[in-house]
């Protein structure tokens, strides 16, 4: 299926690894040009840039200055057809709620909510002027599945989901679509890296990271983690004109982890 994204200009945040890298690859495969924002690049992202379809912008998106720098590079293109707000991070709070400091609460909001607010605010006028555009934001099952182990992350993602739903109502009549995707556990370094969730939780409980990951996988109907490219395929479809009447929607991709409607 042709997703009608050839020559479209897309901005992707958190693009150097994980879901963001997978989304960048998928957009390039569909013929889009990607402005990729990340704190630092990666070998794979550099290879895409060398091929000419990706412009890498090294920015710290937890800061207002980083978001502004990325937006400025996007505006220099004269158009933005697609925005994928993907940047985010989570740190398990193994000491419980009372151990979570103000700084950690603020940090979760600064990386999981405000980058999407800032970058969206920066590129939205171009979309509104064009009378078309699409914004897809990576939320999380934890936006609607409270977990005390990631209490500040879940709250930030719930705020993010509410922001996107509210925005969809405002800009939908002007031709701009806004949707979210909510992954469950993803097979990336966020879970499996040296300082990932599995290792952090295992260290706190004196267990084994592989056992922690296996126990989490068993909570899904499919019995496994979602792969980044599976999320990317969903994101790119939502970004495509093929889903032209889909807006204000959250699409969950969690292997059946959430059992409620």
Give 10-residue mean pLDDT values along the chain (261 residues): 96 98 98 98 97 97 98 96 97 96 98 98 98 98 96 98 98 98 94 87 86 93 98 98 98 96 82
- Minimal CA–CA distance to 123: which of 188, 176, 189, 200? 176
Residue 2 bears catalytic tag: no
Per-residue exposure over 88-118, b if at least 16 CB sit within 10 Å of its own CB, e if not = bebbbbeeeeeebeeeeeebbbbbbbbbbbb
pLDDT number for residue 206: 75
pLDDT number for residue 53: 94
β-strand pairing of 133-138 with 176-183: parallel
Hey, what's the torsion of the CAs at 213, 87, 253, 159, to 10 degrees?
A: 110
Q: Which domains does the chain have, with CATH numbers?
A: 9-184+228-252 (3.40.50.720), 185-225 (no CATH)
- Minimal CA–CA distance to 81: which of 142, 13, 9? 9
Q: What digits encode the pLDDT tens for the residues 44-73? A: 999 999 999 999 999 999 999 999 999 999
pLDDT number for residue 195: 81
pLDDT number for residue 193: 85
Task: Choose, from 88, 153, 185, 225, the residue flagged as catalytic.
Answer: 153
CA–CA separation, 184 vs 140, rounded Å?
Answer: 6
pLDDT number for residue 222: 98
């Amino acid at each position: 299926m042709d997703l009608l994204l050839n020559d479209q200009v897309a901005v992707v945040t958190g693009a150097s690894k994980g879901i963001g890298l997978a989304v960048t690859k998928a957009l390039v495969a569909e013929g889009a040009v990607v402005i990729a924002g990340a704190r630092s690049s990666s070998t794979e992202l550099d290879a895409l840039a060398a091929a000419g379809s990706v412009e890498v912008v090294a920015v710290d998106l937890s800061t207002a200055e980083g978001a502004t720098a990325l937006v400025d590079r996007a505006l220099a293109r004269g158009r933005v057809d697609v925005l994928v707000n993907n940047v985010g991070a989570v740190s398990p709070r193994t000491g419980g709620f009372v151990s979570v400091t103000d700084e950690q609460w603020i940090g979760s909001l600064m990386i999981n909510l405000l980058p999407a607010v800032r970058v969206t605010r920066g590129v939205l006028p171009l979309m509104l002027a064009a009378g078309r555009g699409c914004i897809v934001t990576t939320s999380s099952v934890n936006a609607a599945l409270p977990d005390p182990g990631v209490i500040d992350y879940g709250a930030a993602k719930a705020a993010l989901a509410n922001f996107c739903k509210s925005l969809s109502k405002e800009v939908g009549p002007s031709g701009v679509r806004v949707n979210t995707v909510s992954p469950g556990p993803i097979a990336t370094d966020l879970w499996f890296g040296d300082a990932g969730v599995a290792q952090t939780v295992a260290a706190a409980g004196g267990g084994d990271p592989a056992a922690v990951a296996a126990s989490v996988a068993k909570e899904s109907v499919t019995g496994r983690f979602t792969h980044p490219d599976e999320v990317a395929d969903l994101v790119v479809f939502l970004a495509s004109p093929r889903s032209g009447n889909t807006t204000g929607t959250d699409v969950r991709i969690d292997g059946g982890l959430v059992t409620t409607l």
